[in-house]
């Protein structure tokens, strides 16, 4: 599955912040960018979109930064796909072929079909809180 870089960064950022809970501390985007080894500028743009869509909250000042909104754990990951325009990823050919269908399958159409169903269920049926409970998080511990 190929997600846009913005969607990928958004999901990674949300998981990173979720892993920090129940800490009630804001974290600086620059620090997150270093920990995730991603572009600070792109991560800042993604964070601003998530703030606008009330997934993240922000605070300014010496102890400022970003954190998850209180209701974020009850949201499915499909919200992020929708925000960044990737919600149709499960309806597209994994190889990007426009003519791929059940009648005219690409070489990995059958394999992608079953995998797509599992991924769709993860993105649409499981909340961030579910994923955290299922121990799919933490995955972003910084290795010293």
Q: Hey, what domains does the chain have and what are their CATH numbers?
A: 5-133 (1.10.10.10)
Name the helix (H) or strand (E) containing 131: helix 128-133
Per-residue pLDDT tens for 40-77? 999 999 999 999 999 999 999 888 899 999 898 899 99
Distance CA 30, CA 7 (A): 18
CA distance between the termini of the chain: 30
Q: How many CA atoms lie within 13 A of 102 on its CB side?
A: 3
The residue with tokens 């579910």 is: 130
> What three-state secondary structure class fits 81?
helix
Q: Which residues sit opposite 58 in a β-bridge?
A: 66
pTM of the model: 0.82
Q: Would you list the DSSP string of 47-61?
A: HHHHHHTTSEEEE-S
Mind listing the pLDDT tens digit for each residue in 95-107?
888 888 888 888 8
């Amino acid at each position: 599955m190929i997600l846009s870089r913005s969607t990928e960064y958004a999901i990674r950022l949300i998981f990173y912040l979720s892993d920090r809970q129940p800490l009630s501390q804001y974290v600086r985007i620059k620090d997150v960018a270093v920990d995730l080894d991603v572009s600070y500028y792109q991560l800042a743009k993604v964070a601003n979109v998530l703030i606008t869509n009330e997934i993240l909250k922000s605070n300014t000042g010496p102890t400022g930064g970003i954190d998850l909104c209180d209701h974020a754990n009850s949201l499915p990951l499909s919200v992020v796909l929708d925000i960044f325009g990737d919600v149709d990823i499960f309806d597209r050919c994994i190889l990007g072929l426009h003519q791929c269908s059940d009648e005219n399958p690409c070489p990995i159409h059958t394999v992608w079909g079953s995998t797509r169903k599992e991924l769709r269920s993860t993105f649409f049926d499981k909340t961030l809180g579910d994923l955290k409970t299922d121990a799919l998080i933490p995955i972003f511990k910084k290795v010293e």
